[in-house]
Amino acid sequence: MTEAPAGELRPTPLHEVHQALGGRMVPFAGYEMPVQYGSIIEEHRTVRSAVGLFDLSHMGEVEVRGDEAVAFLRYTLVSDPGALVTGQAQYSMLCDIDGGIIDDLIVYRLEDHRFWVVCNASNRVAVVEQMASLLDRGDFDAEVEDRSHRTALIAPQGPNAAALVGDLTDVDLDAIANYRAAQGTVAGVDCLVARTGYTGEDGFELFCDAGRARELWEALSAAGEGHGLRPCGLGARDTLRLEAGMPLYGNELGRDTNPYEVNLGRVVKLEKGEFIGRAALQAIGQAGPERKLIGLQMIDNAIPRAGYEVRSDGAGVGRVTSGTLSPTLGAKIAMALVPASMAGVGNVFEVVVRDRPQRAEQVKLPLPAPARLSRGAQVPRRIVPPMSHPDDLAYSREHEWVRMEGSHATIGITSFAADELGDIVFVELPEVGAVLTQFGTFGVVESVKAVSDLFAPVSGEVIEVNEALRDAPELMNSDPFGSGWIAKVEVSDSSELDALMDAAAYADQTA
């Protein structure tokens, strides 16, 4: 297999499609992937109410075949692939000898002696190398073939996914239950049609030859117009899986975690016999894990993020593994690893957000079932016209603007900054009476994908803040130069305006 040169991002077979759709491309697991096409929140809601279309061609696909393929996979994985019937799939893990998780994956049984293993893109090499090293011992009559770069994976997800795929396929979708798969055609393209996904919704994952990915995507997109389809990026996929309480490798899962800590002990089949990591996992299962993955819902008005410290009675006890503002629940949610002895639904913890402890209550995982939008409802696309930079404002290099009225300055962030941040979900406003220093930080703005400091474009005393932003921070996206203003300041030194840019210079900076 040809690998991309070190440091070079690999495109998926749909790269040109994403560019034509205006997708915001980001590095992810060695690939250049779309994180969003428009609003992450709207993409998220589309999957909950209609159907979203994802390009997951970065995922790894490994075929395992041979007379002893079953025995090999039983030894390699913690689950029991031998229990699968043809056309059935199971969630599994590849663990190290100490029980640490090398990767989580899905195994499909295609034939008696042929399996399809789907792994995370970031761990594909580790998975293939682990399997190859085990085969090299000569104990199993089996073959492992990495077919990742020849395979595309397109995933329509949402309550309308079955109707959409049903319009295009010769496969009896009613006969494909959850975690089942069948070979067939979709829009004339040969596919493995799997009823699996990572969103908490009904949906399909369609595996096809990479050379026909564009043909399949365009057919689904055209047919999807009548089903409310919208292309969706990695940003929505992450918020969707978090709402559904699904773990992510690198956040909840890793070499330093084991299945029992993350509530996945049910996947481990000790009774099947010897396998890699069995002794360590058996000991953990008998003694109980030291840590436990829990769900959190914030009591205080703050958004938890991965890596934030979790405290109990003021003492650090763990860390947030994933967190966001749930677009469906309307609540600020997270998953966190804490000592197992402290875990219990209803227990109160503190999450340290920007050096301030904020209260959170433990809730049951999966997180509370989303109060979904009406099935099949059309989600309106947020249309914000392209914004020029008003000529009556001054601009900072950090993307704040100033409008002067006498000695008073109204300040906010530019449309460029708002677009770069994406859907803004929280603003930390300064206190009235606070004294700002030019180019010093005075608050925080948080979107579904990033946290950014606010920098004062002028010095002075805050005389008013935009209280509307506490309940409607999205005003900074929809009307950044108007109702999305942040604060008004009594300017202490008007000569500081000379250090700012006019509209033409700022346009040049952001071009």
CB atoms within 10 A of CB 335: 25
Measured distance CA(286)–CA(371) in Å, rounded = 38
pLDDT confidence of residue 510: 81
Is pLDDT at 318 greater than 50 in this prediction?
yes
pLDDT confidence of residue 234: 96
pLDDT confidence of residue 420: 78
Is pLDDT at 425 greater than 90 in this prediction?
no
pLDDT confidence of residue 449: 62
Mean pLDDT of the region 390-411: 94
Measured distance CA(414)–CA(398) in Å, rounded = 9
Mean pLDDT of the region 423-430: 88
pLDDT confidence of residue 367: 66
Q: Are 247 and 104 in contact (CB under 8 A)?
A: yes
3-state secondary structure 117-166: EEECHHHHHHHHHHHHHHHCCCCCCCEEEECHHHEEEEEEECCCHHHHHH
pLDDT confidence of residue 398: 87
Judged by average pLDDT, the poorest of 34-38, 162-166, 371-375, 393-397 is 371-375
Give 227-243 pLDDT, tens digit per residue: 999 999 999 999 999 99
CB atoms within 10 A of CB 331: 14
Residue 419 pLDDT level (bands cut at 50, 70, 90): confident
pLDDT confidence of residue 501: 93
Mean pLDDT of the region 184-193: 98
Element (H, E) at 476: helix 475-478
Measured distance CA(280)–CA(99) in Å, rounded = 6
Give 346-364 pLDDT, tens digit per residue: 999 999 998 999 999 999 8
pLDDT confidence of residue 198: 94
pLDDT confidence of residue 431: 93
Is pLDDT at 10 greater than 90 in this prediction?
yes
Give 266-302 pLDDT, tens digit per residue: 999 999 999 999 999 999 999 999 999 999 999 998 9
Element (H, E) at 336: strand 332-339
Is pLDDT at 388 greater than 80 in this prediction?
no
Residue 118 has which token pair? 């789907």
R_g over Cα of the chain? 25
Is pLDDT at 473 greater than 60 in this prediction?
yes
Q: Are 128 and 62 in contact (CB under 8 A)?
A: yes
CB atoms within 10 A of CB 427: 21
Q: Between 343 and 366, whose confidence is greater?
A: 343
- Listed residue (481, 459, 485) closest to 393, CA to CA: 481
Mean pLDDT of the region 139-152: 97
- Listed residue (231, 236, 217) closest to 21, CA to CA: 231
pLDDT confidence of residue 371: 40
**Residue-range domains of the chain with CATH:** 10-242 (3.30.1360.120), 290-374 (2.40.30.110), 394-510 (2.40.50.100)
Give 96-109 pLDDT, tens digit per residue: 999 999 999 999 99
pLDDT confidence of residue 508: 85
Is pLDDT at 424 greater than 70 in this prediction?
yes
Q: Between 314 and 388, whose confidence is greater?
A: 314
Measured distance CA(105)–CA(60) in Å, rounded = 9
Q: Are 179 and 89 in contact (CB under 8 A)?
A: yes
Q: Tokens 């059935």 correspond to what residue? A: 88
Percent pLDDT > 70 in the chain is: 94
pLDDT confidence of residue 7: 67
Longest dimension (CA), the chain: 84
Give 116-128 pLDDT, tens digit per residue: 999 999 999 999 9
Is pLDDT at 1 greater than 80 in this prediction?
no
